[in-house]
Structure 1
Amino acid sequence: MQGTLGRLLLITALAALGACAAPDRRAPLDAASPAPDFALSITVRDDAHGLTPARYVLDPDGSLRAAIGPGAGSDLLPNFTRRLGEDERAGVWRLALAAGVPSGAPGSPGSRAAAPGSERAALDRGAGVVIWVRAQGASAVYTPSMTTDANARLLVERFEELAWVR
């Protein structure tokens, strides 16, 4: 009995030590390279201040999907358009950080609070542009103004270029 209790205490102590050594999944975001799980989607409505209505989806592996034109809503998974190179993916990451998405990014002057709800809910509330982002296991939805948020507009315009819309 005493040996069993001792083994149980030893196993518990070793498990606790292992938990202390686990890496922090919420380490500060690195502006130089994208988070491994970095993914981003942008939905642009018909009335979004001169931007082409579209839906862009960037997967963590660099696959870019795009659907252009009215009806390209948040419930659509566009067809594969092309795979971004590491430099292009890193460039999108830097633009996203400059636009304040994901929120809390270091050195990101435009860091913003996430909008409540889903992409669909944001579009239903009348948002002209909806950005969904995932990094370090967390995801959020943002609804930037295309008339006042120059960094967010640059991000959307970069997706137009990458998807060969411009």
Structure 2
Amino acid sequence: MNIITGKLYFIFSEVLMFWFHLCDFTELVVMGMSVLDISRPTKPISWWEGCKIMGGRDERAGGTWLACTREGKLAFLTNVLELNPVPEAKSRGDLPVRFLESSKSPLEFAEEVAEEADQYNGFNLILTDFCSKAMVYISNRPKGKPVSIEVVSPGIHVLSNARLDSPWHKVRNYQSP
């Protein structure tokens, strides 16, 4: 499935690879999206009713793993693989929605999430504002370590169910030699 929206290009597969500000005519290209539970009911990418958000939607918890707004904000999320996830944890899919509905910058929102990150099972979250050309990565894993917030530099990056640009085999397959 290809979806073209202005200067954003999405192609879905197994791992999430993205090019951020590589050239003047394209702000971002996103390829791949990991889906851990294909039996979980979801709605396809569309504009959400009564809302400024476009993205897929989790029908169980109401959140999303990838969505954007007309105002130039985009967020995407991967789960961090864990042996014993907490069943009562807050839904990670709510994080992209909250960012897209907020007026906060990616860094401001990441700092807010860092304060409550222990209430969620493991996640990697990318927050983008194309108007300010800002992209931030936040992860609440590994457990027991401080929450990681990083400004994402222009270039090619790969996000899996581990940390951004981690040396996992499935990540190295997408990175240039």
**Richer in strand (by share):** 2
Same fold at TM > 0.5 = no
TM-score by length of 1: 0.27
Bigger Rg, which one: 1
| Larger RCO: 1 or 2 (CA < 8 Å, sep 6+) | 1
